[in-house]
Amino acid sequence: MTAMLAEDAAQAAVVHDPTIARKPHHAAKAKAVIFLFMEGAPSHIDLLDPKPKLNEMHGQPMPASFGKVITAMGTANNNLMGSPRTWAQYGKGGIWMSELTPHVAKHADKLAVLRSCQSDGLNHAGGVSQMNTGDILSGRPSLGAWVTYGLGSMNKNLPSFVSMIDEREPFGNAKNWGSGFLPAVYQGSLFRQGDVPILNTKLPTGQTDERQRARLAYLEAQNREYGASREDDTTLDARIRSFELAYQLQKSGPEAVDLSKETDETKSMYGLDKPETAVFGRNCLLARRLVERGVRFVELYCGSGSGWDAHTNLEGNHKKWCKASDQPVAALLEDLHRRGMLDETLVVWGGEFGRTPFNEKGNGRDHNPWGFSMWFAGGGVRGGQTIGSTDEIGLRAVERPVHVHDIHASMLYLLGLDHMRLTYLRNGRAERPTVLGGEKMVTELWAG
């Protein structure tokens, strides 16, 4: 036991330099990830998974044959609620999509729609946490932190891992981009809305670059001296590195987030000229610019603070958020494609879970972690296909069930990382990003 504790402490004391790129475990199909997180949980049966039988049974009590359901709001056994959507098949692969996402539908052949996702979180706090960290409880590293730990950075002047919010912070706030028990240096950097998404990157009035560099050098020397007897404190090392990164961001950050050099055509394509699409459109355009400059993992929240959470008025809620996100997401796919970046950028779309086929309060849907949809594009993904299915009312995954751990393992694989080999010794245990799961990777996603 003493030897194990000593080994654990020794590893904790060694903090890898996250600015140094590291070799993947196998040939990578993607270099970067853009995760489009629709927080609040979009309804799969109103967007990607049509259920004619559900419409036939509209207004009827849910049959007992579908089993007992315990929901977040306690509304199981309410009447079934059909979807008023108009559906069509798109692309050569014939992917079904509703009329709420006409722009993304044009890119159907780039998408692999996974209809059989499953998670463990019944409420938003647990669901958002698991989709980001693999666990419904806080404390574990986020997926972006694991990626940075495993692969390092592709640039020296920007963070390797960035999270962007829109109106509010998401459920769980910083734990969704935190490093958990990994060294603190691997945590993500938060980019906010507005003209200055990176706080404190402008030099104070009267401060020259030379004076700033000298101050940082003195501060680092003091911190190193203080930390010499505290080698197991990874937060101190992370703070030192954050000062250096902040200095680099003062030089490169403003250029990375400056959209004034983008063409009017590009800005219009992302919807920056319309109030309903400007917020998420700006974040999508920033995501492309960041990946273009070597940021490895970018997560964008749409509806942060559970905007998609349609317990009531699902019709008005989803029309609002689809209008806010559909054009920007389609623009991101098109922009990445025409710049030759899509093949090396894995784009993921989804929320923390789906929504129930029975109604809540007459015109909304409750939380559904038993069967929901996500889609993937670029980065080695074979588009134009649908994987898995839910039952005839969209309640549970029945064909090819895929847990969040399997999704994470699949994303890591596309980046060249083996989730079984990506480990960190903690309290004598080799921790890995998929906890005790991930054995059923979605190999159907691979292009070949």
Question: With 60 as the cut, is the pLDDT of residue 249 above it?
Answer: no
Q: Average pLDDT of 206-221?
A: 65
294 shares its domain with 311: yes
In angstroms, the CA 17 to CA 63 distance is 56
pLDDT level of residue 251 (50, 70, 90 thresholds): low
Question: With 50 as the cut, is the pLDDT of residue 359 above it?
Answer: yes
Q: Average pLDDT of 252-273?
A: 90
172 shares its domain with 233: no
pLDDT level of residue 215 (50, 70, 90 thresholds): low
265 shares its domain with 125: yes
Question: With 90 as the cut, is the pLDDT of residue 17 above it?
Answer: no
Which range has highest mean pLDDT (66-80, 161-175, 222-236)? 161-175
Lowest mean pLDDT among 84-98, 219-233, 266-280, 401-415: 219-233
285-320 burial, b at 16+ Cβ within 10 Å, e below that, comes to bbbbbbbeebbbbbbbbbbbbbbbbbbeebbebbeb
133 shares its domain with 241: no
87 shares its domain with 227: no
97 shares its domain with 53: yes
Domain holding 46, by residue range, is 2-198+261-445
Using a cut of 0.85, tell me whether the model's pTM lies above it: yes
* pLDDT score for 256: 85
Comparing 228 with 277, the larger pLDDT belongs to 277
Domain boundary among 217, 237, 256: 256
CATH number at residue 166: 3.40.720.10
Q: What percent of the chain stands above pLDDT 70?
A: 82
* pLDDT score for 447: 66
DSSP code of residue 108: G
Lowest mean pLDDT among 66-80, 194-208, 307-321, 431-445: 194-208
pLDDT level of residue 361 (50, 70, 90 thresholds): confident
165 shares its domain with 16: yes
pLDDT level of residue 203 (50, 70, 90 thresholds): low
284 shares its domain with 159: yes
Q: What are the backbone angles phi and psi of residue 247, rounded to the nearest 5°?
A: -65, -45
124 shares its domain with 210: no
* pLDDT score for 6: 42
Q: What ranges in 293-381 are assigned the alpha helix state H?
A: 314-338
* pLDDT score for 5: 40
Lowest mean pLDDT among 83-87, 169-173, 332-336, 375-379: 169-173
423 shares its domain with 380: yes
Dihedral angle computed from the Cα positions of residues 421, 424, 425 and 431, in that order, rounded to the nearest 10 degrees: -70
* pLDDT score for 230: 63
- For the chain, what is the mean pLDDT? 88
* pLDDT score for 9: 41
Comparing 218 with 8, the larger pLDDT belongs to 218
Q: What are the structure tokens assigned to 46, written together? A: 């109103």
Residue 425 burial by Cβ neighbours in a 10 Å radius (0-12, 13-18, 19+)? middle
pLDDT in tens, 364-395: 999 999 999 999 999 999 999 999 999 999 99
Q: Average pLDDT of 31-43?
A: 98
- Cα dihedral sign, 294-295-301-304: negative
Question: With 50 as the cut, is the pLDDT of residue 2 above it?
Answer: no
pLDDT in tens, 234-246: 666 666 665 555 5
- Cα dihedral sign, 7-151-289-337: negative
157 shares its domain with 36: yes
* pLDDT score for 18: 67
Domain boundary among 222, 256, 290: 256
214 shares its domain with 276: no
Domain boundary among 241, 256, 271: 256
Comparing 151 with 213, the larger pLDDT belongs to 151
* pLDDT score for 277: 98
Report the relative pairing of strands 429-431 and 95-98 from DSSP bridges.
unpaired
DSSP sequence for 369-423: -SSEEEEEESTTB--SEEE-EE-TTSSSEEES-EEHHHHHHHHHHHTT--TTT--
* pLDDT score for 330: 98
Q: How many domains does the chain contain in total?
A: 2
In angstroms, the CA 288 to CA 442 distance is 26
